[in-house]
Amino acid sequence: MFFIDTVDKLVDQEAPGETAPPDIVKAYHVKLVAAARYRSIAVAFLKRADRKAYGDLWTELENQHTRGDDQYPIDLTAAYNLLLNY
């Protein structure tokens, strides 16, 4: 899923090394869980939007993701703004 891809990108970019202290690893894990939670809430909000008004938007987002261009919003505010500006 798309939010898993985003979390995977965070893991690759900012992952603490194997010798990192446990508190750094725990803080990093908390950050990853929060990013996944925010992303999933944003997508859930979009999925519940009116299909008549925003069905094409959802199709566009799916197609972009299929092409490797992840344009899904990263949090609820971004999802709301996406619907407002569509």
pLDDT at 24: 85
pTM to 2 decimals? 0.74
Do residues 19 and 53 lie in contact, with contact meaning Cβ atoms separated by under 8 Å?
A: no
Do residues 74 and 42 lie in contact, with contact meaning Cβ atoms separated by under 8 Å?
A: yes
Instruction: Report how many domains make up the chain.
Output: 1
pLDDT at 52: 95
Domain of residue 6: give its range.
2-84
CA–CA dist 86, 57 (Å, integer): 7
pLDDT at 27: 87
**If we measure between CA atoms, which residue out of 58, 16, 8, 61 comes closest to residue 36?**
8
pLDDT at 46: 95
Q: 83: which 2 tokens?
A: 């619907």
Q: What is the pLDDT along the chain (86 residues), one digit of tens a residue?
A: 455 566 666 666 667 777 788 888 888 889 889 999 999 999 999 999 999 999 999 999 999 999 999 999 999 999 999 999 99
DSSP symbol at 19: T
How far from chain centre, in Å, is Cα 7?
8
